[in-house]
């Protein structure tokens, strides 16, 4: 099935992946995973755990990665950033962890500018790295 026919079939079910990248905060540190994620949409649903293993490789070793996905759902465009190790469930349900919804924060409206997305990705990566650091500190403190 061609990519175009796959997208048309997905549109019938309400969910279409427009674009997706996975990697670090810099454009050079991301890989295009649009077609891969399109192939994972089944019956209008996408359920994944964002990990290096899922995407087949680590595009930037030693850096916390983020999936940035732009999609339409029932004709509305959304962009989300999902940190590495978190779950993505579309259409939205109660996720295991909070997902940063860029569109709801007013950063992305219609056609987003790349600089705004870059800033949001960098902020999300910093937030996740801070959380990982706090978790390691808490674990060390408990085990002492």
- Name the 3-class secondary structure at 138: helix
Return the number of other C-beta atoms located less than 10 Å from residue 26's C-beta: 13
d(CA 124, CA 64): 10
97 Cβ neighbours under 8 A, 6+ residues apart: 86, 87
To the question of pTM greater than 0.75 for the whole model, the response is no
d(CA 51, CA 4): 27
Burial of 108 from C-beta contacts in 10 A (0-12 / 13-18 / 19+): buried
> Over 70: is that where the pLDDT of 140 sits?
no
Task: Check if the beta carbon of residue 22 is closer than 8 Å to that of residue 78.
Answer: no
More confident residue, 74 or 141: 74
More confident residue, 14 or 141: 14
Q: What is the pLDDT of residues 38-88, one digit of tens each?
A: 999 998 899 999 999 999 999 999 988 999 999 998 888 999 999 999 999
Q: What is the pLDDT of residues 92-137, one digit of tens each?
A: 754 333 444 443 444 444 445 556 666 777 777 677 666 555 544 4
Task: Check if the beta carbon of residue 83 is closer than 8 Å to that of residue 128.
Answer: yes
pLDDT score at 34 = 97
Task: Check if the beta carbon of residue 48 is closer than 8 Å to that of residue 87.
Answer: yes
* Tokens encoding 111: 């056609």
pLDDT score at 90 = 92
d(CA 44, CA 23): 25
| Domain locations along the chain | 3-139
Q: Are strands 15-23 and 100-101 parallel, antiparallel or unpaired?
A: unpaired
């Amino acid at each position: 099935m061609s990519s175009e026919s796959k997208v048309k079939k997905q549109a019938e079910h309400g969910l279409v992946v427009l674009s997706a990248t996975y990697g670090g905060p810099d454009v050079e540190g991301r890989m295009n995973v649009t077609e891969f994620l399109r192939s994972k949409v089944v019956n209008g649903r996408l359920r994944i755990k964002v990990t290096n293993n899922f995407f087949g490789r680590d595009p930037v070793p030693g850096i916390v990665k983020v999936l940035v996905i732009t999609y339409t759902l029932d004709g509305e465009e959304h962009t989300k950033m999902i940190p590495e190790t978190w779950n993505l469930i579309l259409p939205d349900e109660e996720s295991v962890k909070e997902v940063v919804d860029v569109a709801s924060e007013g950063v992305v409206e219609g056609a987003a500018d790349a600089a705004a997305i870059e800033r949001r990705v960098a902020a999300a990566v910093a937030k996740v790295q801070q959380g990982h650091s706090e978790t390691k500190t808490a674990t060390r403190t408990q085990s002492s």
